[in-house]
Structure 1
């Protein structure tokens, strides 16, 4: 049944698949479609997740380095919706594999003058050779890990200073016995095309556990997203 419904969905989205096989879809999606969808969905998701982010980032100042400043690297910054939750004086380095968010990012930078912005790097989360090893106190990922391969382990080993922290808020696979998981399996191939490689069925808490942080706090939460298969989330942080 899953395969049958996948085929039906693929037929409905056949123009997208055709453009993909012609090599046209991916650059068009990253430049136009994905930023547009993320902007529209992001506004709704930000409202729903605000209370969780406020609680999540409450203890960020505890990870300030010896200099007294908090050096923060955000992977997959997008439009910068997390800036409002960072403490005053925080030194922020922004990275994103997609350079087409910079207009909205600039707007959010102007709104959040309490931060110090270091630089913007166009790079994938698993390819941050431009960031020196152990050079940041905190790494932040929100709605990013579903498209990466091994961000938690990479960030723990190479980016965070000793005693630094890796913060996350991510959508994850639903309970396997649920209808939502069934629809995640149905939608996954087409969803991945439309949302720039996003995987609906990743059990990301397992990746975090495998990274072997000295301390790991994970909370499973529900963020209702009507008509979307991404209700289940995890939120928390790990300490190197």
Structure 2
């Protein structure tokens, strides 16, 4: 993957294209790039709560999603852009010695994300911007990933347009997201009933988005996704999709 920015020199995209042996990953520094952060609602309670919640519950959530994530995030390149990296739930799916450009506007996530990256040997760069305005050049990324993010952004269509913009032709957008349930089901009724308190607690998270439809209509050259269901006490959260879209 090649990211052209002030902070990053060009790097080769795929391991098969580089004759050089792998080098040790440097994780001592994390570059935080400001900009567009004013669009993020940094609530003093919710931001801290969500950081602590996903740190505490990350293992439980990943246990339910692990097989679908492992398929969607297989064979990622050495450098990956992630939308909403949170506290680092997806670091385990990155290749050894990976570099992660984390689009994470919630500042309360950053300390835990840094620690998790150091523990996993991931070279981390945090960009404190919202996903509707990713501060990367056009056609500069080989891979963008997201999980449990498109439900909470303000404008998922704008985010998907940004993903297409930063991906090079043939680049991958891999995702694992929770989505609206089928009409007439108990899950759908629960999503509708709890939508307001759920959104308040989880920083705007909506359980009523047809993200499969949004991704299919976003202009990718191909989309391969599968719906699935988990069984958890968090009933509005139990309907999901995972897959890959190619720019």
TM-score range, shorter chain: 0.7 to 0.9
SS at match of 2:116: helix
Q: How much does 1:59 deviate?
A: 3.0
**TM-score, normalised with respect to structure 2:** 0.78
**1:184 to 1:233, Cα distance in 2 relative to 1, 3 A:** same
Spell out structure 1 runs of 4+ moving beyond 4 A.
none
* Cα deviation 1:52-102 (Å, max 9, x = unaligned): 2222222324xxxxxxxx331001000111111111243211111201112
Distance 1:125 1:225 in 2: 28
Match of 1:77 among 80, 85, 92: 85
**Hey, what's the Cα distance between the residues in 2 that align with 1:210 and 1:81?**
28
Partner of 1:60: 76
2:142 to 137, 144, 148: 137
Which of 67, 70, 79 does residue 51 from structure 1 map onto? 67
TM-score when normalising by structure 1: 0.80
Cα distance in 2, alignment partners of residues 234 and 210 from structure 1: 15
Is the helix fraction higher in 1 or 2?
1
Per the alignment, in what secondary structure is the counterpart of residue 145 of structure 1?
coil
Residue 161 of structure 1: aligned partner = 168
Quick one: distance in 1 between partners of 2:59 and 2:97? 26
Q: CA RMSD in A?
A: 1.7
Using a 3 Å threshold, how does the CA distance of structure 1 residues 123 and 232 change in structure 2: closer, same or farther? same
Equivalent residue for 2:128? 122
Q: Is the 8 A contact 1:152 1:166 kept in 2?
A: no
Q: Radius of gyration: which is bigger? A: 1
SS of the residue corresponding to residue 27 of structure 1 reads coil
Structure 1: gaps (5+ residues) = 1-24, 62-69
Specify the alignment match of 2:56 in structure 1.
Answer: 40
**What are the Cα deviations for residues 167-217 of structure 1, in whole angstroms up to 9, with x where unaligned?**
110000111110110010010011111110000110100100111211110
- How do 1:1-240 and structure 2 match up within 5 A? 27-61=43-77, 70-113=78-121, 115-117=122-124, 119-128=125-134, 130-148=135-153, 149=155, 150=157, 151-156=159-164, 158-240=165-247
Mapped to 1, the partners of 2:46 and 2:129 lie a distance apart of 14
Unmatched 5+ stretches in structure 2: 1-40
Give 1:224 deviation, angstroms.
1.9
Separation (CA, whole Å) in 2 of partners of 1:105 and 1:38 = 11
